[in-house]
């Protein structure tokens, strides 16, 4: 999915700190959605923020002059002490991990002029719509050049510029999509709130998954490994074999294995939080995906069940001959998906369940 947001949605949310933008940021980053922003949108938001800042400065200086007269201090108060620079692109980059900026520099002014004369949307009467036309055409160019065929969420609060009352694009804009030969689909919304309410599960995206991983799970990797090993070693050997064979059809069936042992030699790699929900103020439900670099899997089989000898298993295991049994040992990298509850106050893992346990052949 791509999400395109017009400048009016950002006004008065200069630092994207509202609840809606925090939820959008979590959703975008958690789901791998791509934000697509026009350079013209960035310029408009930057200019609008600077204009409002200048107006606010003027009003504050006037008030401070009166205040300093009423409450004189040796140096007085200066409004410049509270000022900080603003860069809208940096604000966007700090909120969204997958972000593309679309240039409008290559949009043909001849094409824009023709649309202005013919009043082709987004142009309206009195030549209103120049900036919207640059935004629209540059977006179509970007989609065409990328070959993107998925869904594009288009959020713009100025309905009269782009949408009919039923929230479909005007016929001019539909015609543009056909002429460009685009195979993507558009989902149109007037507000960010409308999109979030219809498409985003607040409980699922209450957290930024990457931050959850960094703040809680990176320091708990040894504990997670310990929980997995203890869980596997505590279950019956037949149950462990069932778990392995369910997702690894190539692995040999060992119905006569009398015991098993599982050990993690080298630990977690490529961890990804797939889901995180709050169960209470102190408890998080987490669905976690990762691979275990090197694991030792060991099965013991009594001699009397291996009358023909274990040679046929050499391609699967290293084989040791003990006093009364064969010990079969395999070293594998394993892809794991597990769910558990994480207790924040004690940094502990509870209720571990393993959903995916996929052994790599090589």
One digit per residue, pLDDT tens: the chain, 362 residues? 999 999 999 998 999 998 899 999 999 999 999 999 999 999 999 999 999 888 888 888 888 777 777 777 666 556 665 567 899 999 999 999 999 999 999 999 999 999 999 999 999 887 789 999 999 999 999 999 999 999 999 999 988 889 999 999 999 999 999 999 999 999 999 999 999 999 999 888 989 999 999 999 999 999 999 999 999 999 999 999 999 998 998 998 888 899 999 999 999 999 999 999 989 999 999 999 999 999 999 999 988 766 566 667 788 899 898 988 889 999 999 999 999 999 999 999 998 889 999 999 87
Among 98, 178, 83, 91, smallest CA distance to 140 is for 178
259, 237 contact by CB (below 8 A): yes
Element (H, E) at 233: helix 221-234
CA angle 336, 34, 287 (to 5 degrees): 25
pLDDT for position 75: 63
pLDDT for position 253: 87
Token digits of residue 202? 């607040």
pLDDT for position 4: 98
CA distance 196 to 23: 8
pLDDT for position 55: 87
- For 189, residues 6+ apart whose C-beta sits below 8 A from its C-beta are 153, 154, 155, 167, 195, 198
- For 229, residues 6+ apart whose C-beta sits below 8 A from its C-beta are 262, 263, 264
> In the chain, where are the structural domains located?
2-199, 209-359
Burial of 7 (0-12, 13-18, 19+ CB in 10 A): buried
Among 282, 283, 258, 275, smallest CA distance to 337 is for 275
What are the CA-CA distances from residue 297 to residues 41, 90, 188, 246, 302 (Å)? 56, 49, 53, 16, 17
How many C-beta atoms surround the C-beta of residue 289 within 10 A? 16
pLDDT for position 160: 87
Global pTM? 0.74
pLDDT for position 65: 76
254, 328 contact by CB (below 8 A): yes
Among 188, 181, 319, 340, smallest CA distance to 254 is for 319
pLDDT for position 148: 96
Tracing tokens 């098993």 back to the chain, one arrives at 260
pLDDT for position 24: 95
pLDDT for position 79: 63
CA distance 205 to 92: 19
pLDDT for position 313: 78
């Amino acid at each position: 999915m791509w999400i395109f947001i017009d400048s009016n949605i950002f006004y008065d949310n200069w630092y994207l700190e509202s609840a809606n933008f925090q939820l959008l940021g979590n959703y975008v980053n958690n789901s791998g959605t791509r934000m697509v922003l026009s350079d013209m949108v960035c310029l408009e938001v930057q200019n609008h923020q600077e204009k409002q800042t200048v107006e606010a400065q003027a009003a504050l200086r006037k008030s401070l002059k009166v205040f300093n007269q009423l409450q004189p201090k040796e140096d007085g108060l200066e409004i410049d002490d509270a000022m900080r620079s603003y860069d809208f692109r940096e604000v966007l980059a700090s909120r969204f991990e997958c972000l593309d900026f679309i240039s409008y520099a290559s949009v043909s002014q001849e094409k824009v002029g023709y649309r202005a004369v013919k009043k082709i949307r987004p142009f309206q009467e009195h030549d209103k719509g120049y900036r919207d036309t640059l935004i629209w055409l540059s977006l179509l160019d970007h989609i065409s050049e990328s070959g993107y065929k998925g869904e594009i969420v288009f959020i713009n609060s100025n309905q009269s510029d782009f949408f009919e009352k039923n929230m479909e694009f005007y016929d001019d804009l539909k015609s543009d999509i056909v002429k460009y030969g685009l195979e993507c689909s558009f989902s149109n919304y007037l507000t960010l709130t409308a999109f979030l309410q219809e498409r985003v599960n607040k409980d699922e995206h209450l957290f930024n998954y990457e931050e959850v991983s960094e703040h809680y799970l990176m320091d708990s990797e040894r504990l997670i490994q310990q929980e997995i090993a203890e869980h596997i070693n505590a279950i019956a050997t037949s149950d462990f074999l069932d778990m392995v064979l369910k997702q690894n059809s190539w692995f040999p069936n060992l119905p006569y294995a009398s015991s098993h042992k599982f050990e993690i030699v080298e630990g977690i790699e490529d961890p990804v939080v797939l889901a995180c929900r709050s169960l209470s103020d102190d408890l998080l439900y987490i669905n976690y995906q990762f691979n275990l670099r090197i694991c030792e899997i060991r099965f013991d089989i009594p001699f009397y069940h291996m009358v023909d000898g274990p040679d046929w298993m050499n391609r699967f295991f290293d084989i040791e001959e003990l006093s009364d049994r064969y010990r079969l040992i395999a070293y594998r990298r394993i892809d794991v998906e597990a769910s558990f509850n994480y207790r924040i106050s004690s940094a502990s893992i509870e209720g571990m369940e393993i959903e995916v346990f996929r052994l790599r052949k090589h």
